[in-house]
Homo-oligomer: A and B are copies of this chain.
Amino acid sequence: MKAYKEMSREELLSLKDELEKQFADAKGKGLKLDMSRGKPGLEQLDMTMDIMDVLDSKADMRCEQGVDTRNYGLMDGISEAKHLMSDMMGGIPAENVIVYGNSSLSIMYDTISRCVTHGVLGSTPWCKLDKVKFLCPAPGYDRHFSITELFGIEMITIPMTSEGPDMDLVEKYVSEDPAVKGIWCVPKYSNPQGITYSDETVRRFAALKPAAEDFRIFWDNAYSIHDLYEEDRDDLLEILSECEKAGNPDIVYEFSSLSKVTFSGAGIAAFAASKKNVEETKKFMAVMTIGYDKINQLRHVRYFKNVEGLKAHMQKHAAILRPKFEAVLRVLDKELEGLGIGEWTRPCGGYFISFEAMEGCAKAIVEKCKEAGVVMTGAGATFPYGKDPKDSNIRIAPTFPNSEELAAAADLFVLCVKLVSVEKILAAF
């Protein structure tokens, strides 16, 4: 195929005509599809329904510690749930883990909020400081950026490489600026690019020498077992032990959840950190709550039994998700390869494909898709303040639609990419 930029004005004009006709046809179909959020699909949810039978009215509701999960107690989670989550996070000691309610995002919010009101291990509360900054590898997860924005924390964009965030830049900011208090990371199958941080990247994180004593890495290990391919799986170094080895045990807060393992919003979530950090967190938890839903913790552990059970379950997910990712990639390959109007990632796991359009085209593409009934994640959402400086990144979430819907949505997406790109190139003539 001929790259668009090598086409003559006449070729482009005729192509534009053709694409506009196709777009008018597509609009006529009255599509109503959503590729905007990383939601599990119906098949995944249905496949998990037998978890609903695990605890019935005849069940023994006591956990391993002999505590009745129906009553108050065990604020930091039942022991077997700590073990399950710690194994899932790569074999962290269970005493470094706290099991919460249904949402790791809430734990992150609470953690930032606590830093703002009370500081970190006795440091000055961030609300008493003139300026607090966070490093934000981008493209990244929009909801991370929303939290830091809400608290008035200045966000500094860090470019992503194929090995993770640009560590030269991270090291520079962290070691030189005491106002830099944290960094958001999705270290495995990053949202949206599906990049897994290399061993070197993880080790450089663990070895950071922050100017701020209260600097923390916010390690959102959301996709630790969300591999699409058994044989072609990314492996992530376990960061807590790396930090320990580097003499930096307290530098990281890790977050994890089962929202995309069982049910979104009805899973269990966990926090992991050094002994000191965990103790501080528990001190605040004791004021914040009497405890989380231990019955749901018990339900999850009885269902999966152990991390092998979790992994076996995730292979079933992969069997459902693989064809969806591949269907989108097939359309992108077939329709856009060689045209020079976009690049895309081929993740081995996670929930997203990241598309890099020509500079200045992302907003217009998402707008065009919407016009014809396909909702994409808002362009810019993957950057701090919702502003993509190049206006080129688009997050594709292929997990929720069924394969028929997905084909229709992907077809429309590439059509919009083509159309907007042709217009862009023509405008520059």
Which positions in A face B, CB cutoff 8 Å?
A: 37, 39-40, 42, 45, 48-53, 55-59, 61, 68-73, 101-103, 105-106, 109, 113, 116-118, 125, 127-128, 143, 146-147, 150-151, 259, 263-266, 284, 286-296
Contacts and interface: CB of A to CB of B under 8 A. Distances in A.
Nearest to A283: B150
- Most chain B CB within a 10 A radius of its CB, from A50, A51, A265: A265
A191 B323 CA distance: 57
12 contacts: A45-B70, A48-B70, A50-B57, A52-B56, A53-B56, A71-B264, A101-B102, A102-B292, A116-B117, A118-B150, A265-B291, A293-B293
- Most chain B CB within a 10 A radius of its CB, from A50, A70, A128: A70
Q: Please give the count of copies of this chain that the complex contains.
A: 2
Contacts of A55: 52
Given A57-B53, A70-B45, A101-B101, A265 B293 contact: yes
A118 B48 CA distance: 40
Given A59-B52, A106-B288, A290-B103, A72 B127 contact: no
A163 to B, nearest CB: 29
A128 B55 CA distance: 48
A301 to B, nearest CB: 15
Given A45-B70, A52-B55, A53-B56, A290 B266 contact: no
A291 to B, nearest CB: 5
A113 B61 CA distance: 34
Contacts of A147: 287-288
Contacts of A37: 72
A412 B61 CA distance: 32
A116 B291 CA distance: 23
Contacts of A105: 288-290
A36 B333 CA distance: 66
A290 B263 contact: no
A152 to B, nearest CB: 9
A234 B54 CA distance: 40
Contacts of A61: 45
- Most chain B CB within a 10 A radius of its CB, from A42, A113, A151: A113
B150 A284 contact: yes
A39 B71 contact: yes
Given A37-B72, A57-B49, A69-B266, A287 B103 contact: no
A141 B106 CA distance: 26
B72 A264 contact: yes
Contact of A127 (B51, B103, B125): B125
A70 B42 CA distance: 9
Nearest to A45: B70
A101 B293 contact: yes
Contact of A150 (B57, B70, B143, B287): B287
A57 B52 contact: yes
Contacts of A53: 56-57
B288 A266 contact: no
